[in-house]
Amino acid sequence: MLRKILIANRGEIAVRIIRACAEMGIRSVAIYSEVDRFALHVKKADESYCIGTEPLAGYLNVYALVDLAAATGCDAVHPGYGFLSENAQFARACKERGLIFIGPESDVIRRMGDKTEARNAMIAAGIPVTPGTANLASVEEALTAAEKIGYPIMLKATSGGGGRGIRRCDNADDLQRNFDRVISEATKAFGSADVFLEKCVVNPRHIEVQVLGDHHGNTIHLYERDCSIQRRNQKLIEIAPSPQLDEAQRQYIGGLAVLAAKAVGYTNAGTVEFLLDSNDRFYFMEMNTRVQVEHTITETITGVDIVEEQIRVAARLPLRCKQEDISRRGYAIQFRINAEDPQNGFLPSFGHISRYYAPGGPGVRTDTAIYTGYDIPPYYDSMLAKLIVSAITWEDTIKRGERALKDMGLFGIKTTIPYYLEILRHPEFRAGCFNTGFIEQHPELVNYSNKPRPEV
């Protein structure tokens, strides 16, 4: 088993990994920029080291992090999600220094991070994909291809992710206007100017499947998550399992995900993402080669500790479960509590948290790195916490979500909590009937009252 892990991340995912290490008897090493000096992950780790005064540069410095891990006696590095988690160079640098990268092999990260190469791998494996192109050399080539595919189309950065480097184009004018914009955005965010086209599946349901693979030839899935409630390609609420699938669809998509993972020799935790169109046809979208933000709800319904399994697989231990051992229980919903003001165009609301009260009770879990008195720095993602609720039935899970959101107290800043309460009360959501167009189709959801509750 591993002895000491450097966590190349910050915030709630760093805290989550530190907790897993503590339960496994593994020492944890945290990193932090100067603005993160008072962050919770810094306080909770066994050791903590400052990586510089710049808010972002230290978290993205491949060789400085590898050097630090080696110098502090670590035998492994966990990248969490975001930052360098899907950076093949980072995984390769770890291996070159004799460190274990807790994730898939660098070549698999590179292949699946290149969306056109990932598409080709899935086509070869017999996985359905949407009609699309290879990387495009010019806007003229893009226009010709779009006419053949048919509008609307999605213009995507080959190395994109997190909702960046992607634009929907409904006609040739849209494509011409967005082509250079997407290339610029992709170059700045991912260091690559490659773009391609895919047929746009209008208002699909976004369904993803959690997979685990070890170094002993075992690959399993942990059922699916419904991530259709999203805004500008960024997920807000995730659900496991999807209330929109029947059992036949569930087994089919789980089998596709395992087939996809085996096709590329995948090890560790990963997620295969699909779009489900209005005719109930599944299409491969992408594979995320890391732990997902929403891994929590899969853990809740299956009882599998995904982060612990990541560490065990990295230590070359076999998976503790076979596919027939995996069962699911009830439903789980995760709410991404963001420091944003929905009534002001979702403008970020960073600042001082004057009071924070975590919800509790049966079927409630909170993953966060905030506390009363914490100052939220403006340099990172706006997500403050993940609130996870679960119950046996879909209806009871919604009720528990309402109760837990009302229990949560976050004062001093604006958050998405009241917005999520409006979503839970919407009849379409309660009926389990929604798609990726839900937020756009219901702008009235921001018209909630700001009048404080009597207890506040």
Question: Which residues are catalytic, by number?
Answer: 290
Residue pair 86/92 in contact by the 8 Å Cβ criterion: no
> Residue 94 belongs to what H/E stretch?
helix 88-96
Residue 241, preceding peptide bond in cis (omega within 30° of 0): yes
Give the contacts of 217 (CB within 8 A, at least 6 positions apart). Answer: none
DSSP per residue, 147-184 = HHH-SSEEEEEEEEETTEEEEEESSHHHHHHHHHHHHH
126 Ramachandran zone, left/alpha/beta (phi>0; psi -120 to 50): left
Distance CA 252, CA 199 (A): 23
Length of the chain equals 456
First to last CA, the chain: 48
Instruction: Give the burial string for 267-285 (b: 16+ CB within 10 Å, else e).
Output: bbbbbbbbbbeeeeebbbb
